[in-house]
Chains A and B, each alone.
Chain A
Amino acid sequence: MRARPTVGELACLVHALEAERSARPAVEQALRRRGGADDLVCLRDWLGAVDEDSARRIADTDAALRAVSGGALAAGALLGLVTALGVFFYDGSGRVNVLAVLGVMVVLPGVLLLSSWLGASPRGSGAVARALAALGAWSPGRLVARWSRRAGRRGSSALATLLDPRHHVLGLAPVRRWAVVRWSHLLGTGFFLGALATLLALVVFTDLAFGWSTTLRATPEGLRDLVAVVAAPWAWAVPAASPDLETIAATRWFRAGQGGGPTAPPALLGQWWPFLAAALAVYGLLPRIASAALASMLLRRATGRAFVGLPAARALLARIGAAEVDTRAPTPEPAPPPPEAPRRLEAPVPVVGGCEAVVSWSAVPVPDLVLADLLDADRVLHAGGARTVAEDEAVLDALADGAGRVVVVTKAWEPPLLELRDFVDALVARRSGAVAVMPVAVDDGVLRPPRAADLAVWERGFADCAVPLVAPPREDRP
């Protein structure tokens, strides 16, 4: 059996999805391989994969949510207690006014109940919606979000993500709404439980004198009819909770002109409490319990829908479930070895004075005479390029044991190859004279300094070589 997702689980999912806006391809790829799972299972697996602590976090978040619900119930009960103590306040003088009790404890909460459902309807009509939106500054969701952030508990950041209305998450609105509606009904339930308990306690441990009193012109018969209608749901079962005309007539009370003392038989004065208790239970407590239950159901449904229906979740599922076309390397190319520090980033030294020989490496497209003239060289030799290794050897032999300078001219636009390094190393090993490498650019048979980008390639290529890189002499120099 698969459990439905809880609100805590949804909160953790939303939190993870927000945090994972930069997705983890590896996790997604691993899930993709498994295949076959439905959306709910897939999302749960994903959550487990991106957050190995997710089970704990979910449990913590659900616990925090339960704590909020418990808190709402407790706060309601306290409120009910305080209100009931006020409404049923009786110090022996006067009466507890039944009409006032009905107004404060039944009619007012009834209006609030109605407005809470109206406000919860997804499309509140203009004026109502606006009035409720103005109340939004005190949104319980925002309060809870703030509380959970303050509380700094594990899982509380997930809760804050879920509940803070300022945090915009597409597709979460129904969950937020039903969570808040449910809490408000729990608060109401607590209120009536507290009020009822207080009434019963007062009835048991003190004696209350009820009466009814109004400035309006009212007759006992009129009130009797009203009471009969109000008591209709329970009169047939508990006749004692439906005051008769005798009680009603006897308990009417005027504050002025009667000297304040009770006139009716004291036994009759207590007769109202079963009626009030029943009214509180039937018109206050029961609707709130029913509302809380309905809100819980709607919350569960919204949670289940949001879990697999959040746009971010859908996008994730699409990524995981997409028919797989993959062109990339299964494992990325290994990181490069630490780079050799480019040893000669300084500008190449210009050639001064003559040299014994110039080697044109792999057919630099400049006439030999030009090269010889420019570098003041006795001879120009050729190596590399299309020539064989044996021909290179012949050049090396010809230059062996010399003491003058040898400059190897190369095309700067071609990268330095190891075979050039082989040649230069052999040259250095066989001669006592200086050896230099001169990468050059050529423009229509004229030597030019290499482009900066090309030079950088050469400087890196020769980073670990003792042979200096030199710049070509300027054309205009004699």
Chain B
Amino acid sequence: MSPPRFAVVGHPNKGKSSLVATLAEDESVRIAPESGTTTRAVTYPMRVRGETLYELIDTPGFQRARRALGLIEQRAATAAARREAVRAFVAEHRADPMFRAECELLAPVVEGAGIIYVVDGAVPYGPEYEPEMEILRWSGQPSLAVINPIGTRDHVREWRDALGQYFRVVREMDVLAAPVEQRLDLLRAFGELDPAWRPALERAVEALRAERHRLRVRAARVIAEMLVEALTLAPERRLRADDDPQAARAELEHAYADSLRGLETAARARVERLYHHEALARDEAVLESIEADLLAARTWQLFGLDRLTLAGVGAGGGAAAGLGVDAALGGLSGFLGAAIGGVAGGAAAWLAADRLARFETRDLPFGEQVLAVRAGASRNLPFVLLGRARVHHALVARRSHARRDPLVVEGTSAGLPGDARQRLARLFERAADAGDDGAEAVVESLAEAIAPLLESEPEPAA
């Protein structure tokens, strides 16, 4: 039996391609504010190890539905002849430029595809939708309507009433914002349209779920590698006799921040690629802030904590204080609390708030000196990086492939459970000491520890 196929059809510019891009996780789908962006039917097969479980078909919107309906009506004397009339219409007008859109979208339907009819719940229902819904009904194929509120939900109720007349199943889904579970739910609903389609869609949903899990594990590995690289990073700079030590320090710190930024950017790109976001535009302005975020007090101040608060927290003593902060902020602080927890004593916290980089000077033969950033000297750094990576991962993992706006990484991660925090702190220490040789083993253990933390997706900021 050939796999079930679903033709996504409707009025132009109502998010048909957006729905397909979201479900097929394909960012190459052409989506634009203009009407008539899609000009040909394009098939998106869902394959598991080469076996196609179902196919989605993106189609152009109806352009001359009334005229087409008129022609079809002429052919169908009785209700029994309607289905055949639609088929005959497509066969006859295949090459007719007048009905190109109609034929492109109806061809898969008359060949047996299920109908997914997409409307915009933000604008009112109107009579111009009736001819196209009528044609679809005449095709006799199982069908489901999706209300996609582009913007507001003002007219969703009205649409439900109207669509209920033509479609047995009416669903609402904000295509660009729907969480992954809701998308899988919609796919399952596709399977309910025909008992013969059900097993394939159930299998597909299971496979997609399993794939999500695998992706999380792989993303955890990418993040673990980034963290270990960051912890073993030890940039240095030769200090000549005539160098201004202050300037040299600033320069080195700059270089260090650059390297960290480079590591973070590369890791982000890899995570994005895992999730098939290959051409994702990033908001560079936000990326720029990493220097401030990682190396200075900004990170802390973002959460409304000033140095004095921090010092107070630190004085409370070690990890317990960190937990306290988490509790006080209602879990909002996430990595912040964890980071504080790792630092013992108020002075340390106060200093750590200011600078995450620690410097040391080493003597070279012949009276030269080397100024170096001590790798892994900051206990906060990996927690801050991990927190940022979790936020980024959550945003990327749930991001619809129909979105064309740049990715803005904002928000906080959910707090780390106490035992995870302890385990991570130990692993970070191991990573910093291991040098490059033991790194592989640490990466392995770290990835294991991080994967479940990606499981509970942190909430992006409102």
Give Cα distance in the complex from A363 to B101, angstroms.
24
B304 CB within 8 Å of chain A: no
A418 / chain B contacts, CB cutoff of 8 Å: 63-64, 101
A327 / chain B contacts, CB cutoff of 8 Å: 23-26, 44-47, 208
Q: Are A137 and B128 in contact (CB under 8 A)?
A: no
Q: Are B276 and A329 in contact (CB under 8 A)?
A: no
Q: Are B35 and A457 in contact (CB under 8 A)?
A: yes
A386 / chain B contacts, CB cutoff of 8 Å: 127-128, 130-131
B435 CB within 8 Å of chain A: yes
Interface 0/1 of A402-418, CB less than 8 Å to B: 00000000010111111
B107-115, B214-222, B324-332: which lies at the A interface? Answer: B214-222
Name the residue of chain A whose CB is nearest to the CB of B233: A168
A171 / chain B contacts, CB cutoff of 8 Å: 436, 439-440
Chain B: minimal CB distance from A85 (Å): 27
> Which of A170, A333, A417 has a CB less than 8 Å from the CB of B228?
A170
B278 / chain A contacts, CB cutoff of 8 Å: 22, 25
Chain A: minimal CB distance from B223 (Å): 12
A318 CB within 8 Å of chain B: yes
B42 CB within 8 Å of chain A: yes
**Contact size class for B?**
35 or more
Name the residue of chain B whose CB is nearest to the CB of A309: B440
B398 / chain A contacts, CB cutoff of 8 Å: none
A133 / chain B contacts, CB cutoff of 8 Å: 362
Q: Are A168 and B229 in contact (CB under 8 A)?
A: yes
B18 CB within 8 Å of chain A: no
Q: Are B70 and A388 in contact (CB under 8 A)?
A: yes
CB interface residues, A 90-135, toward B, < 8 Å = 122-123, 130, 133-135
B222 / chain A contacts, CB cutoff of 8 Å: 315
Give Cα distance in the complex from A457 to B13, angstroms.
9
Interface 0/1 of B101-138, CB less than 8 Å to A: 10000000000000000000001101110110000000
Q: Are B25 and A170 in contact (CB under 8 A)?
A: no
A344 CB within 8 Å of chain B: no
B214 / chain A contacts, CB cutoff of 8 Å: 322-323
Name the residue of chain A whose CB is nearest to the CB of B26: A328
A174 CB within 8 Å of chain B: yes
Chain A: minimal CB distance from B139 (Å): 20
A461 / chain B contacts, CB cutoff of 8 Å: 34-36
Give Cα distance in the complex from A319 to B278, angstroms.
14
A478 CB within 8 Å of chain B: no
A334 CB within 8 Å of chain B: yes
Q: Are A388 and B66 in contact (CB under 8 A)?
A: yes
Q: Are A315 and B218 in contact (CB under 8 A)?
A: yes
Chain B: minimal CB distance from A337 (Å): 8
Q: Are A413 and B63 in contact (CB under 8 A)?
A: no
Chain A: minimal CB distance from B318 (Å): 26
Q: Are B238 and A385 in contact (CB under 8 A)?
A: no
A123 / chain B contacts, CB cutoff of 8 Å: 435, 437
B44 / chain A contacts, CB cutoff of 8 Å: 327-329
> Which of A319, A324, A414 has a CB less than 8 Å from the CB of B11?
A414
Interface 0/1 of A179-217, CB less than 8 Å to B: 000000000000000000000000000000000000000
Give Cα distance in the complex from A330 to B61, angstroms.
23
Q: Are A329 and B225 in contact (CB under 8 A)?
A: no
Give Cα distance in the complex from A413 to B126, angstroms.
11
A324-B50, A457-B34 in contact; A389/B67 too (CB < 8 A)?
Answer: yes
A166 / chain B contacts, CB cutoff of 8 Å: 235
Q: Are B229 and A413 in contact (CB under 8 A)?
A: no
Give Cα distance in the complex from A415 to B62, angstroms.
11
Interface 0/1 of B229-257, CB less than 8 Å to A: 10011010010000000000000000000
Q: Are B64 and A137 in contact (CB under 8 A)?
A: no
Chain A: minimal CB distance from B50 (Å): 7
A122 / chain B contacts, CB cutoff of 8 Å: 435, 437
Chain A: minimal CB distance from B350 (Å): 29
B12 CB within 8 Å of chain A: yes
Q: Are A311 and B30 in contact (CB under 8 A)?
A: no
A395 CB within 8 Å of chain B: no
> Which of A174, A311, A389 has a CB less than 8 Å from the CB of B443?
A311
B45 / chain A contacts, CB cutoff of 8 Å: 327, 329-330
A369 CB within 8 Å of chain B: no
Give Cα distance in the complex from A35 to B47, angstroms.
16
A134-B362, A328-B26 in contact; A384/B128 too (CB < 8 A)?
Answer: yes
Give Cα distance in the complex from A467 to B364, angstroms.
81
B368 / chain A contacts, CB cutoff of 8 Å: 137
Give Cα distance in the complex from A415 to B63, angstroms.
10
Chain A: minimal CB distance from B201 (Å): 13
Give Cα distance in the complex from A173 to B276, angstroms.
32
Q: Which of A168, A322, A328 has the most CB of B within 10 A?
A: A328
A326 CB within 8 Å of chain B: yes
Q: Are B126 and A363 in contact (CB under 8 A)?
A: yes
> Which of B12, B46, B365 has a CB less than 8 Å from the CB of A415?
B12
Known A315-B270, A325-B46, A416-B35; further 17 A-B contacts with Cβ < 8 A: A21-B269, A134-B363, A134-B365, A137-B370, A170-B228, A315-B218, A322-B214, A327-B26, A328-B28, A330-B45, A332-B26, A336-B37, A336-B39, A384-B66, A411-B126, A422-B67, A453-B33
Which residues does A use to contact B, with CB under 8 Å? Answer: 21-23, 25, 122-123, 130, 133-135, 137, 166, 168, 170-174, 309, 311, 314-315, 318-319, 322-330, 332-334, 336-337, 362-363, 365, 384-390, 411, 413-419, 422, 453, 456-457, 460-461
In the complex, the 7 A-B pairs of residues with the closest C-beta atoms, listed nearest first: A173-B436, A415-B35, A386-B127, A332-B28, A418-B63, A328-B26, A385-B127
Interface pairs (10), CB distance under 8 Å = A23-B273, A170-B440, A171-B440, A174-B437, A325-B46, A333-B30, A333-B58, A385-B127, A417-B62, A460-B35
